[in-house]
Amino acid sequence: MSQSDLPEIQYTVWPADLHSHRFLVKLHIANPDPDGQVLEMPAWIPGSYLIRDFSKQIESIEVHTAGANRKKLSLERINNDQWRLPKGSDAVNVLITVYAFDSSVRAAYLDSERAFFNASSLCLAVKGQEQLPCSLAIVAPEAASVDHWSVQTSMRAVKTDAQGFGFYLAQNYDDLLDHPVAMGEFQLLSWTSQGVPHRMAIQGCTHPIDTSRLADDLKAICTSTILLFEPKTKRAPFNGYLFLVNAVLNGYGGLEHRNSTALLCRRDQIPQEKVLYEENAYREFLGLCSHEYFHAWLVKRIQPQAFRPYQLDRRNHTRLLWLFEGFTSYYDDLQLFRSKRIDLQAYLKLVADNWNGILRGPGRQKQSLADSSFDAWTKYYQADENTPNAVVSYYGKGALLALGLDLQIRAFSNNKKSLDDLMRLIWQKHGITAEGIAEDGLDDLVILLLGKEFTKTWNEIKSKYIFGTEDIPIQKWISSKLISIKAKPQSKLEKLKLQFGMRHAESSGWLKVTHVLDGGLAQTAGLAAGDLLASINGQRMTNTRWDKVLGGLSEGESMSICFYRDDLMHERMALLQNSQIPAQYELSSTNKSL
């Protein structure tokens, strides 16, 4: 590919030093702003609502003229994320060294086994020229030990070798950021859903993967999702899709992109030959795949107005994450059932587990779904020891809201309409058109679908369960003809744990308090996060002895609780009273339809 064929903005990425985890990145700017071109590193990555300050990993930055007479230029530092070139600069090359050892799906990573990056961690934006096409050249590492490395990305390749190293093109800077890149050795599988090629590239598994089973399951899930949004045309909004998977000892998460997703999972969640794995763990992995794939429609193409365009130098607030993440969480499990990857009883257990988990969190009584969405940047993504008492998950309760709205729509329309119809309407009005949803934009769509007669119901749902903190009454809305609901029986030990109101972890042989829940005995006794619980009634407490000691207590019993805080011993007396604990539910059905 000749220089004349390249766009004005060109990035080149070298995995320069595998052992010290450093990428070298060159940015060529053909026509800098004559008034002093500003360069900016994103402060966050779309889909993960936390200011991460990616510029902190830049170790060095310098700029030179791009002509034959290479000359170093001065570079003005504006703030943590921005630099300015000298006024009147002609074509320049900016060279930066970036430290990369973040194993999550959000940043960049490099060692002798693999490389991964989102461009938001390596590539400076050329302010004012973000809408211009740009190229990305990926250079193979020089170490002989990585001769078998290849490149996996959904970015458009224009001139690459057999291993994928070479030139790629992006429509603009936003497009560049929307295609994560993985390098290394992969186990690959592929399938076709509704005529669209899909691929999965997996790193980290030490044994051959059961690619046949995995491809069959993923094909069913992807096909089901395409047909959900486009039952008539049966077309996906992309020409191909890539799942990038990093399998590790411990880890879980994903980040959505328009034509791909980056996933992190445990190795024992992926079916491998000659390796025992749990079906529930594998189901969880399929649920993760389903969740991020659904985002190709809801989040990447259907977006809140607050994200159009993304402002990557600041927080982008919206009160709609309960819709974008919560409804996706509802459908990720529902699509497993619809694609026949799990049966109805397994699906109902997932619903009940989420429902019960929400009911156990005191924060649900203090924070609304709308506020949880708005505060994601400072509360949900920066969890601390008080998070369970102050925050409700827009994922979990948002999924419960989606179920409740689905039930209400079905009841109102005599099962002629469902939440599926609302999702398709949202897709037609805001996905295909690329028009962002206003903060109150769902109001018109709900009434358009169901008529003004549904206004009272919708306004009640909004005031009580979206902007209010009332519990969503699934037990009242679900049809007893299809689903049986009953109180979940709780053992004496389970009740005592709920009444105690404490979460803990093992720490060097001690039982360390991690969270103290509002209204529980632990809070009454004065325990706090970080305390080391030494004994109850003189019995030594450890992580393994927790159930035994707690199970030996009785309601009305007076307890002596000994704990250490900052290496000082404290002793408290507390009375184990029969306090009110959240209801827990079980769902079951013999009916195979929803």
| Element containing residue 412 per DSSP (H, E) | helix 396-412
Return the DSSP state at 336. H
- pLDDT, position 532: 97
**Cα 325 to Cα 131: distance, rounded to the nearest angstrom:** 28
Burial 131-151 (b: 16+ CB within 10 A, else e): ebebbbbbebbeeeebeebbb
Contact predicate 424/397, CB 8 Å: no
How many other C-beta atoms can be found within 10 angstroms of the C-beta atom of residue 59?
A: 11
What pLDDT shows up at residue 122?
98
Residue 516 phi/psi, 5-degree rounding, is -120, 120
Neighbours of 538 (CB within 10 A): 8
Q: Which two tokens stand for residue 397?
A: 């309760």
Q: What is the pLDDT of residue 590?
A: 61
Structure token digits, residue 28: 């060529």
Taking the C-alpha atoms of residue 130 and residue 46, their distance in angstroms, rounded to an integer, is 16
Q: For the chain, what is the radius of gyration of the CA atoms?
A: 27
pLDDT of amino acid 577: 79
- Residue 371: per-residue pLDDT: 98
d(CA 306, CA 320): 10
Q: Which residues of the chain have a pLDDT value below 70? A: 1-4, 144, 590-594
CA quadruple 269, 270, 275, 281: dihedral sign: positive
Domains of the chain: 3-184 (2.60.40.3650), 187-280 (3.30.2010), 321-478 (1.10.390.10), 492-575 (2.30.42.10)
Tokens for 496, please give them.
């005592």
User: Alpha helix locations (H) across 159-302?
Assistant: 173-177, 211-229, 279-294
- E-strand spans in 328-404? none
pLDDT tens figures, 72-109: 999 999 999 999 999 999 999 999 999 999 999 999 99
- Starting at the edge strand found earlier in the chain, the sheet holding 156-160 runs 72-73, 58-65, 92-99, 22-29, 9-17, 134-138, 166-170, 156-160
Specify the pLDDT at position 572.
95
- What is the model's pLDDT at position 276? 79
- Contact residues for 246 (Cβ-Cβ < 8 A; gap 6+): 103, 105, 114, 116, 182, 203, 204, 262, 263, 264, 265
pTM (two decimals): 0.95
Q: What is the pLDDT of residue 482?
A: 81
pLDDT at 2: 58
Distance CA 261, CA 419 (A): 25
